[in-house]
């Protein structure tokens, strides 16, 4: 929609400028009436939901309103009669207007309006956001001595009776808690309470309940950016970084789960009262997936784990004598569902940080594993829907898989897995390739 409106606006501005130059007239009155009409048309399209109002349209709406207001004032004061025609003035004003239109429409182009993935459950979904303060931890990314805080958001069945399994999600290295909103919504619509965590300073940004915004830590950002560059870190240094990242992630997840379990017993908030504390699943994308697998290893109340495109960092050991990584020999007994894109699938046979993910690893012989052919790493999140340009830039190109097929099929499979493992519903037997 943003690109279409930009093309229409550019054609209008260029055509009108050429017409003015050819006829050697300003046509200010006509332009003012047109700008008023365009603002009215934009308002009608918004009110009729052809344009879905959101942050992406704020700049354009402001620009159109200012142009319409200026045009209205000019028509009332009848100033257009006093202005003389100048070709240079027409050209420069058109160039200026084109630049302003491009800037105003940039949010709608970078974050295009798009249909939401399908939601198939019977429950209406509500959301709630909270900030939890961990009084047992001091924030390592701040020198102010403040306690660690974690922002969470719940997706849960609205106006539903009974209790429902708790599912805890952890985002990727640069992600945010909303990274897989379509997944949370689909799960909640089928009777799950889903809580997604923002890991402050690991997430691109996070907003606390009081409105305070916290952005990604520059040192952490540099560390993650450098892991795929040869010669930056030794294997031993990389192993140390992995342990540090995973400690923060798993400490956050443990804190959130423990906080929720405590509130479910004492807090009358309807969100907590809908939670079945005896049924807990964890899942995550990329680094969040690695943390989820780790949590399944160390907690005894986790009943099912979904790993989305992540290495098994919890199963990774560094051997100094060979200066390489090897896989742990401990069996993994928690039900596990692995979902891989092409980006990770091609690394499963290597002796890298994915050495424990090898398909012949007998410690995971009961795990379910699937591969989305043609998918890239971010295809398994909502980002390609929310911002195709940003997703393609971050993952080095466009994926070869239909983005709606990928995310909707992923959501369907995750739902079936949790239904089978947490509710005893149906039978889970996914194909290897999709």
* CATH number of the domain encompassing residue 162: 3.40.50.1820
* CA-CA-CA-CA dihedral for 19, 25, 29, 35, to nearest 10: 30
| Of 68, 84, 110, the domain-final residue | 110
Q: Is residue 17 part of a domain?
A: yes
Q: Is residue 228 part of a domain?
A: yes
Between 45 and 362, residue with greater pLDDT? 362
Residues 106, 138: one domain?
no
- Tell me the mean pLDDT in the region 346-351: 86
Report the Cα 78 to chain-centroid distance in Å: 50
Residue 159 confidence (pLDDT): 86
Residues 94, 162: one domain?
no
Mean pLDDT over all residues of the chain?
Answer: 91
Residues 214, 68: one domain?
no
> In the structure, what pLDDT confidence band is assigned to residue 414 with cuts at 50, 70 and 90?
very high
Residue 54 confidence (pLDDT): 84
Residues 105, 131: one domain?
no
| Of 110, 145, 165, the domain-final residue | 110
Minimum mean pLDDT range among 47-56, 140-149, 322-331, 383-392: 47-56
Q: Is residue 193 part of a domain?
A: yes
Residue 22: other Cβ atoms inside 10 A: 8
Residues 95, 129: one domain?
no
- Tell me the mean pLDDT in the region 32-42: 86
pLDDT at 80 over 70: no
Q: Is residue 119 part of a domain?
A: no
pLDDT at 375 over 70: yes
pLDDT at 356 over 90: yes
Between 83 and 94, residue with greater pLDDT? 94
Q: pLDDT of 147-179, one tens digit each?
A: 999 999 999 999 889 999 999 999 999 899 999
Minimum mean pLDDT range among 35-44, 70-79, 284-293, 408-417: 70-79
Q: Is residue 428 part of a domain?
A: no
pLDDT at 131 over 60: yes
Q: pLDDT of 225-252, one tens digit each?
A: 998 788 899 999 999 999 999 999 999 9
For residue 218, the enclosing domain spans: 125-423
Residue 191 confidence (pLDDT): 97
- Tell me the mean pLDDT in the region 279-291: 97
Residues 45, 84: one domain?
yes
* HEC sequence for the chain: CHHHHHHHHHHHHHHHHHHHHHHCCCCHHHHHHHHHHHHHHHHHHHHCCCCCCCHHHHHHHHHHHHHHHHHHHHHHHCHHHHCCCCHHHHHHHHHHHHHHHHHHHHHHHHCCCCCCCCCCCCCCEEEEEEEEEEEEEECCCCCCCCEEEEEEEEEEECCCCCCEEEEEEECCCCCCCCCCHHHHHHHHHCCCEEEEEECCCCCCEEECCCCCEEECCHHHHHHHHHCCCCCCCCHHHHHHHHHHHHHHHHHHHHHHHHHHHHHHHHCCCHHHHCEEEEEEEEEEECHHHHHHHHHHHHCCCCCEEEEECCCCHHHEEEECCCCEEEECCCCCCCCEEEEECHHHHCCCCCCCCCHHHCCCCHHHCCCEEEECCCCCHHHHCCHHHHCHHHHHHHHCCCCCCCHHHHHHHHHHHHHHHHHHHHHCCCCCCCCCEC
Q: Is residue 204 part of a domain?
A: yes
Q: Is residue 430 part of a domain?
A: no
> In the structure, what pLDDT confidence band is assigned to residue 83 with cuts at 50, 70 and 90?
low
> In the structure, what pLDDT confidence band is assigned to residue 108 with cuts at 50, 70 and 90?
confident
Q: pLDDT of 11-35, one tens digit each?
A: 877 777 787 888 877 778 888 888 8
- Tell me the mean pLDDT in the region 214-223: 94
Between 279 and 106, residue with greater pLDDT? 279
Terminal CA-to-CA distance of the chain, rounded, Å?
30
CA angle 258, 292, 121 (to 5 degrees): 85
Residues 178, 29: one domain?
no
**How many Å apart are CA 318 and CA 128, to the nearest integer?**
41
Residues 10, 98: one domain?
yes
pTM equals: 0.88
| Of 75, 110, 145, the domain-final residue | 110
Count of structural domains within the chain = 2
Identify which of 359, 406, 376 has the alpha carbon closest to the alpha carbon of residue 182: 406
Residue 307 confidence (pLDDT): 98
Q: Is residue 231 part of a domain?
A: yes
Residue 29 confidence (pLDDT): 83
Residues 230, 333: one domain?
yes
pLDDT at 2 over 70: no
Residues 77, 198: one domain?
no
Residue 79 confidence (pLDDT): 56
Residues 204, 93: one domain?
no
Residues 191, 106: one domain?
no
Residue 81 confidence (pLDDT): 53
The CA distances from residue 355 to 15, 104, 338, in Å, are: 61, 48, 15
């Amino acid at each position: 929609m943003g690109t279409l409106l930009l093309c229409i606006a550019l054609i209008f501005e260029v055509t009108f400028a050429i017409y003015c130059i050819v006829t050697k007239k300003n046509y200010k009155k006509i332009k003012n009436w047109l700008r008023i009409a365009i603002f009215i048309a934009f308002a009608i399209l918004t009110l009729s939901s052809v344009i879905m109002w959101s942050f992406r349209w704020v700049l354009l709406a402001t620009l159109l309103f200012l142009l319409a207001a200026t045009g209205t004032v000019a028509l009332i004061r009848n100033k257009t009669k006093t202005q003389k025609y100048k070709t240079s003035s027409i050209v420069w004003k058109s160039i200026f207007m084109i630049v302003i239109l491009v800037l105003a429409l940039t949010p709608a182009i970078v974050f295009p309006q798009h249909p939401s993935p399908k939601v198939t459950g019977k429950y209406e979904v509500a959301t709630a956001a909270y900030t939890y303060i961990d009084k047992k931890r001091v924030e390592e990314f701040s020198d102010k001595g403040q306690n660690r805080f974690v922002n969470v958001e719940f997706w849960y069945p609205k106006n539903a009776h009974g209790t429902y399994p708790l599912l805890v999600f952890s985002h990727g290295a640069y992600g945010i808690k909303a990274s897989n909103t379509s997944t949370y919504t689909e799960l909640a619509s089928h009777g799950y309470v889903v809580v997604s965590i923002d890991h402050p300073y690991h997430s691109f940004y996070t907003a606390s309940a009081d409105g305070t915004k916290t952005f990604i830590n520059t040192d952490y950002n540099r560390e993650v950016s450098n892991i795929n560059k040869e010669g930056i870190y030794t294997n031993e240094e990389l192993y140390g970084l992995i342990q540090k990242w995973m400690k923060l992630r798993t400490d956050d997840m443990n804190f959130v789960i423990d906080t929720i379990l405590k509130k479910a017993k004492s807090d009358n908030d309807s969100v907590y009262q809908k939670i079945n504390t005896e049924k807990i699943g964890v899942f995550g994308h990329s680094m969040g997936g690695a943390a989820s697998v780790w949590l399944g290893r160390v907690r005894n109340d986790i009943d099912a784990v979904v790993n989305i495109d992540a290495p098994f960092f919890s199963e990774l050991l560094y051997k100094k004598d060979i200066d390489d990584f090897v896989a742990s020999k401990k069996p993994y007994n928690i039900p596990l569902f692995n979902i891989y894109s092409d980006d990770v699938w091609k690394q499963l046979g290597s002796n890298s940080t994915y050495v424990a993910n090898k398909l012949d690893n007998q410690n995971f012989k009961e795990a379910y594993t699937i591969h989305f052919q043609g998918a890239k790493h971010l295809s398994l999140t909502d980002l390609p829907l929310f911002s195709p340009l940003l997703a393609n830039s971050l993952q080095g190109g466009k994926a070869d898989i239909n983005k709606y097929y990928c995310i909707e099929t992923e959501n369907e499979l995750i739902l079936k897995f949790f239904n089978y493992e947490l509710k005893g519903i149906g039978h889970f037997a996914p194909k290897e390739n999709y």
